Amino acid sequence: MYPTLQKMLFGLNDAHVILEPVSGQLMHPEALTAFSQLRRDARDAGFEPRVVSGFRGFERQRIIWNRKASGARPLLDSDGHPLDVQQLSDEEIVFAILRWSALPGGSRHHWGTDFDIIDAAAVPEDYQVQLTPEEVADDGVFGPFHRWLDERMAAGRSYGLFRPYAVDRGGVAPERWHLSYAPRARELQDLLTPELLRTQIEACPATDNLALADTVCANIESIFQRFVAVPDSAYPQSLDRL
């Protein structure tokens, strides 16, 4: 694989993303164009979509991962309840982290094609966004916006944006707030393999390592299928025409 493409695939630099000026987040240029078009339509409907998390590099994802593995950040079960890291095996810790946080090197946020959004018009400026299922439920603070977005996606009018984690497939917990620009994300996903991901994890410097790397590598095939690969059925059916 070409070094430049590898750096993009694993979020090793930010040369492939640009600034979204309203949020200050970094995004893939094509994803930003699609989002800008969607935001224009949403504003006409009384909403104000705002990106709260765009590009995340490998190092940032590694810090999140390691803090959860050590118990420095909360580790949650599938229902969102805190777990005691000290009572879990290494494998149980790995799969608990993956339920809510991506594996460094396996995050779609590395590509800049994926981002998390809120409806800024629905909350005061000082609102502390949590990105929880309660916020985006139909009766949640961002529910009306997401119902509107559901209709746009169903009608094929979301400019190639879709929800890769719209439903629970036994891997990543549903994330209604997570959007992805399908054409480029699909291309990049097709380049990623379990072996490439294992190689990247093993390449972490010993002085700056990934916690539980041995356990991750031992389970990489299962991890890839459950928590990294998004199935064809989740992508827009009109992807070839976008």
Half-sphere exposure of 229 (CA within 13 A, CB side): 16
Quote the distance between the C-alpha of residue 123 and its chain's center. Answer: 23
90-100 vs 58-70: helix crossing angle, rounded to 10: 130
> 241: pLDDT confidence band, cut at 50, 70 and 90?
very low
> 204: pLDDT confidence band, cut at 50, 70 and 90?
confident
pLDDT, tens digit (0-9, with 9 covering 90-100), for 34-56? 999 999 999 999 999 999 999 99
Of 158, 185, 144, nearest in space to 47 by CA: 144
- From residue 49, alpha-carbon distances to 122, 161, 177, 219 in Å are 10, 13, 11, 37
CA distance 43 to 232: 31
> 207: pLDDT confidence band, cut at 50, 70 and 90?
low
Work out the mean pLDDT of the chain and round it to a whole number. 95
Average pLDDT over every residue of 201-229: 92
CA distance 157 to 145: 15
pLDDT at residue 208 is higher than 80: no
